[in-house]
């Protein structure tokens, strides 16, 4: 952990690191490994430093902290703008690296925030569907992640979350102790341009990689 912190000091503000590690080691890590019996594959594929665009499927509000925990470095995730209207929570998630995005539209401010984090050496996380899906499959991927990667020349890292769609069922107040598996794939090169055809091709590669990992199951 000491080496991990030293690497991060070169990239992230100290207040973000304090909150990140406090939340990670006191809440997220124990919950993932004990309560959800988490399995993590491919963590050695994560670059220790440098800009990185993490792309994944999305089925639960638990997904962002789970992914951040598994990557062994902080990840700044896009979060729906409604969360930034909640007192106290808005300040906490900002320190944790989250930035707001308006769903259903091209949010230039969110794109600007993602580019800023990447220029500072952060990893930024984007769920390709843009919203949760009930079966954790990506049926309508957005091009935002590929566009961010193209503008910063940051590689894309596909991550599959298996089982998180069962953590909270409709009408349930508490998360269920279901098994969760996270699989991290091989890096995918950034698009060579911001042309739509190129963005679509790289996005399709990411979706295929994530689904292939997801199909491996538990």
pLDDT for 97 equals 65
Query: What six digits make up the tokens of 9?
Result: 């000091």
Residues of the chain scoring pLDDT < 50? 3, 5, 7, 9-11
pLDDT for 7 equals 46
pLDDT for 21 equals 78
CATH topology of domain 2-214: Glycerol-3-phosphate (1)-acyltransferase (3.40.1130)
pLDDT for 83 equals 67
Q: Are 185 and 157 in contact (CB under 8 A)?
A: yes
Q: Are 198 and 188 in contact (CB under 8 A)?
A: no
Burial (CB count <10 Å: 0-12, 13-18, 19+), residue 6: exposed
- Calpha distance 39→148 (Å, rounded): 29
Give the predicted TM-score (pTM) of the model. 0.86
| Domain spans of the chain, in order of start | 2-214
């Amino acid at each position: 952990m000491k080496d991990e912190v030293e690497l991060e000091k070169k990239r992230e503000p100290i207040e973000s690191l304090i909150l990140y590690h406090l939340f990670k080691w006191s809440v997220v890590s124990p919950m993932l490994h004990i309560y959800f019996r988490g399995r993590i594959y491919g963590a050695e594929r994560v670059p220790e430093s440098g800009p990185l665009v993490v792309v994944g499927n999305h089925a639960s509000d638990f997904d962002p902290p789970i992914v951040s925990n598994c990557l062994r470095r902080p990840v700044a995730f896009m979060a729906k703008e409604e969360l930034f209207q909640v007192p106290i929570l808005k300040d906490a998630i900002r320190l944790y690296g989250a930035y707001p995005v308006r769903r259903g539209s091209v949010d230039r401010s969110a794109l600007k925030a993602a580019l800023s984090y990447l220029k500072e050496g952060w990893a930024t996380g984007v769920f390709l569907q843009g919203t949760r899906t009930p079966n954790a499959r990506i049926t309508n991927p957005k091009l935002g992640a590929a566009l961010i990667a193209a503008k910063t020349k940051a590689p894309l890292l596909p991550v599959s979350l298996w089982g998180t769609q069962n953590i909270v069922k409709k009408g349930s107040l508490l998360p269920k102790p279901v098994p969760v598996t996270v699989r991290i794939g091989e890096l995918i090169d950034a698009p060579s341009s911001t042309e739509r055809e190129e963005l679509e091709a790289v996005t399709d590669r990411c979706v295929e990689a994530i689904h292939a990992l997801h199909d491996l199951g538990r």
